[in-house]
């Protein structure tokens, strides 16, 4: 080691040591930060203790009311919890006499990962969440109504209801305060559907409520079950979605904890996971809606803890019942659209099909009016879903082939003009002549009827269709639990190769369809780079182009780690689409001869040599921009010489 190396290392050590010394935290600041954290912890502890005291006071009051025979709620606080089942061909719901709430919903036509009918939620769903070092809270499903009275308030979660009329599809749950004073909760499960109607009707209750009472409160807490094999992928489609009154839908963040206070009236609120949803629909509207969603960790059996509170209209005189509606069913576009006609309010269009996110407006239109109908048509053939995706991809590729052909021909024209471009590059070797060189190359393209922008527009036209399929495939419930080749479920990742230990960033499996997609993407990048013409340029520009090409090769490797947890159906579609693109390129490479294109361009040049066409559109603006840049460059060079 020579003297210079030693000096260098010493200087580095001095710089590093000086940085640590001058950037060490001030002890007073450390102490202030500690006091701040302690104060936050103290406030949090007081809030938790206040919540505990509030719950204890509420339980004590209930115990007192249950013993006080003079309390208006005395009769309703006495009873025994039991379950009433309503059932049709598609849906079964259990309603508890405690709170008159729906405690479970089971779908007959869909199976869970164990082969049993899918249960969206149950009264046995509960987990413990550690809120702080001192307090652990038990979270479970809740659904209850609140009514503000003159002297006492009603919280239905504490009260017992009596079933007075019952059939296989309907029941009246009565909250009786006396023989002639009661509130009826009338449930009706509609035939051959996933819809449950609820009417809340007060009888002789005007004296209990203040004259100003016009609404009741609704509180809904639910743990969203994990229904699919791939937790990570399902989490991306699990959220709270809501529809603004007579407007579009919106949703809370899928990936992180989120909460929102909605100022506008709301038509409905949905607790949604990838393929199933529980939707609460207002007969009129919901007001003062408050939503919260907490993301849970993998391995607990649940995706999120969702909660919603809101108010809706209520007539204490009983002249007009409160109308509500539930949808417990699949996120299937056709089913949701058919359910719109079952709205409890015939004058209201509830647009349940907008629950499914199909992308941006133009992408959404492509999905709703082209992809869905094409997919349903192919599905009705009764063939394997893997073949359906293959045919769907072939049809879409055939539809965009004219744009692909036009894009390829545009690039082929520029490759055919490469000898002329090389002459221009040789004519302007100096870096300061780069703008003149680019102007002359653009002039060459114009003379021979070629355009560097000619391949861009056709590609841009194709993009919305490919994005539409990216949004459609993960939402297609028809792919759920459908096997193809080695994939047991096209709606989840395929794990032909798997192991027990989680390895970052690949996880515990390798998706073969994802691997095939990435390999074909590398092949597609190779052929695409061969198609791109060499525009010439400075050594710096050439170096930048090389870096860009290497980045294009690296991207499929990055895609592998991203898409390895995605559904096998989506990766299978990407594999097919990319493979068809490779074959299309090979075919066009043989079918489109560049020497013939050059002869046609030369004939075009000769025919228009004496009558050159005036440039317009993008080419004219690009040329004007280059001329302005050249003028600025020349002025800068003149100032340097002076």
pLDDT bracket for residue 88 (50, 70, 90): very high
Q: What is the pTM of this model?
A: 0.84
pLDDT of residue 370: 94
DSSP 532: S
pLDDT digits (tens, 9 = 90+) for 174-190: 999 988 999 999 999 99
Rounded CA-CA distance 333/526 in Å is 39
pLDDT digits (tens, 9 = 90+) for 604-628: 888 877 666 555 555 556 566 656 6
Least confident segment among 36-45, 175-184, 453-462, 570-579? 36-45
pLDDT of residue 417: 84
User: Which tokens hold the place of 558?
Assistant: 């990055």
Place of tokens 């070092």: 133
Least confident segment among 274-283, 375-384, 492-501? 492-501
3-state secondary structure of 157: helix
pLDDT of residue 84: 96
Rounded CA-CA distance 98/94 in Å is 12
Mean pLDDT of 442-446: 80
pLDDT bracket for residue 632 (50, 70, 90): low
Rounded CA-CA distance 22/26 in Å is 10
pLDDT bracket for residue 446 (50, 70, 90): confident
Statement: residue 64 has pLDDT above 70? no
- Three-state secondary structure string covering 398-413: HHHHHHHHHHHHHHHH
Mean pLDDT of 476-497: 95
Please check whether residue 158 is in contact with residue 74, taking contact to mean a CB–CB distance below 8 angstroms: no
Least confident segment among 60-64, 374-378, 427-431? 60-64
pLDDT of residue 512: 95
pLDDT of residue 437: 78
Statement: residue 271 has pLDDT above 90? yes
pLDDT of residue 292: 97
pLDDT bracket for residue 259 (50, 70, 90): very high
pLDDT of residue 74: 84
- Which of 18-22, 67-71, 76-80, 140-144 is predicted most confidently? 140-144
pLDDT digits (tens, 9 = 90+) for 124-146: 999 988 766 667 788 999 999 99
Nearest to 233 by CA among 582, 460, 573, 564: 564
Contacts of 34 (CB under 8 A, 6+ apart): none
pLDDT of residue 22: 61
pLDDT of residue 410: 84
pLDDT of residue 60: 60
- Which of 69-83, 377-391, 455-469 is predicted most confidently? 377-391
Q: Could you tell me how far CA 509 lies from the centroid of its own chain?
A: 24
pLDDT digits (tens, 9 = 90+) for 517-543: 999 999 998 887 776 655 555 566 667
Rounded CA-CA distance 257/262 in Å is 17
pLDDT of residue 434: 73
pLDDT of residue 469: 93
Statement: residue 505 has pLDDT above 70? yes
Rounded to a whole number of angstroms, the CA Rg of the chain reads 34
Task: Please give the sequence-ordered ranges of beta strands (E in DSSP) within 3-101, or none if there are none.
Answer: 83-87, 91-96
Contacts of 447 (CB under 8 A, 6+ apart): 605, 608, 609, 612
Q: Could you tell me how far CA 17 lies from the centroid of its own chain?
A: 48
Place of tokens 């079950």: 225
| Mean predicted lDDT score pLDDT of the chain | 86
pLDDT of residue 611: 67
Q: Provide the 10 A C-beta neighbour count for residue 202.
A: 25
pLDDT of residue 92: 98
pLDDT bracket for residue 44 (50, 70, 90): low
pLDDT of residue 615: 54
Statement: residue 603 has pLDDT above 80? yes
């Amino acid at each position: 080691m020579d003297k210079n190396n030693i000096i260098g290392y010493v200087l580095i050590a001095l710089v590093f040591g000086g940085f640590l010394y001058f950037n060490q935290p001030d002890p007073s600041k450390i102490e202030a930060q500690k006091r701040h954290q302690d104060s936050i912890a103290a406030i949090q502890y007081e809030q938790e203790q206040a919540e505990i005291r509030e719950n204890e006071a509420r339980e004590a009051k209930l115990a007192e009311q249950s013993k006080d025979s003079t309390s208006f709620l005395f009769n309703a606080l006495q009873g025994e919890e039991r379950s009433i089942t309503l059932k049709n061909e598609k849906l079964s719901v259990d309603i508890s006499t405690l709170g008159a709430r729906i405690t479970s919903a089971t779908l007959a036509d869909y199976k869970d990962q164990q082969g049993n009918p899918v249960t969206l939620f149950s009264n046995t769903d509960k987990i413990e969440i550690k809120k702080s070092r001192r307090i652990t809270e038990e979270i479970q499903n809740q659904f209850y109504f609140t009514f503000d009275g003159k002297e006492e308030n009603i919280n239905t979660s504490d009260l017992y209801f009596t079933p007075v009329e019952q059939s296989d599809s309907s029941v009246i749950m009565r909250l009786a305060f006396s023989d002639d004073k009661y509130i009826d909760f009338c449930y009706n499960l509609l035939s051959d559907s996933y819809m449950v109607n609820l009417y809340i009707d007060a009888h002789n209750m005007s004296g209990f409520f203040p004259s100003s009472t016009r609404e009741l409160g609704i509180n809904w807490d639910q743990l969203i079950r994990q229904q699919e094999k791939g937790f990570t992928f399902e989490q991306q489609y699990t959220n709270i979605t809501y529809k603004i009154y007579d407007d579009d839908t919106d949703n809370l963040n899928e990936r992180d904890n989120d909460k929102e206070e909605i100022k506008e009236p709301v038509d409905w609120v949905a607790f949604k996971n990838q393929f199933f949803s529980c939707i609460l629909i207002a007969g009129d509207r919901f007001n003062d809606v408050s939503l919260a969603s907490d993301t849970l960790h993998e391995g607990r059996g649940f995706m999120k803890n969702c909660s919603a509170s809101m108010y809706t209209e209520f007539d204490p005189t009983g002249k007009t019942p409160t109308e509500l509606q539930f949808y417990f069913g699949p996120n299937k576009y056709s089913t949701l659209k058919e359910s719109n006609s079952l709205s409890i309010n015939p004058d209201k269009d509830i647009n349940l099909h907008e629950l499914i996110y199909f992308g941006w407006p133009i992408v959404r239109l492509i999905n709703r009016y082209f992809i869905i109908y094409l997919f349903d048509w192919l599905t009705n053939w009764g063939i394997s879903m893997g073949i359906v995706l293959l045919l769907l991809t072939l049809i879409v590729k055939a539809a965009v082939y004219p744009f692909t052909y036009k894009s390829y021909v545009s690039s082929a024209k520029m490759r055919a003009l490469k000898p002329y471009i090389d002459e221009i590059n040789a004519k302007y070797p100096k870096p300061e002549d780069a703008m003149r060189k680019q102007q002359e190359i653009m002039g060459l393209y114009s003379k021979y009827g070629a355009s560097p922008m000619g391949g861009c527009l056709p590609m841009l036209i194709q993009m919305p269709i490919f994005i539409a399929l990216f949004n459609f495939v993960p939402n297609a419930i028809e792919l759920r639990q459908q096997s193809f080749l080695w994939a047991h479920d096209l709606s989840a990742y395929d794990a032909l190769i798997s192991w027990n230990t989680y390895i970052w960033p690949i996880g515990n499996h390798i998706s073969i369809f994802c691997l095939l997609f990435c390999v074909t993407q590398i092949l597609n990048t190779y052929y695409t780079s061969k198609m791109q013409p060499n525009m010439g340029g400075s050594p710096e520009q050439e170096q930048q182009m090389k870096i860009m090409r290497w980045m294009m090769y690296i991207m499929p490797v990055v895609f592998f780690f991203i898409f390895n947890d995605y559904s096998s159906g989506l990766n299978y579609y990407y594999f097919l689409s990319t493979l068809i693109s490779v074959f299309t390129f090979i075919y066009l490479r043989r079918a489109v001869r560049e020497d013939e294109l050059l002869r046609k361009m030369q004939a075009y040049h000769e025919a228009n040599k004496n009558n050159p066409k005036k440039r317009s559109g993008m080419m004219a603006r690009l040329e004007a921009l280059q001329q302005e840049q050249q003028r600025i460059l020349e002025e800068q060079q003149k100032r340097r010489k002076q």
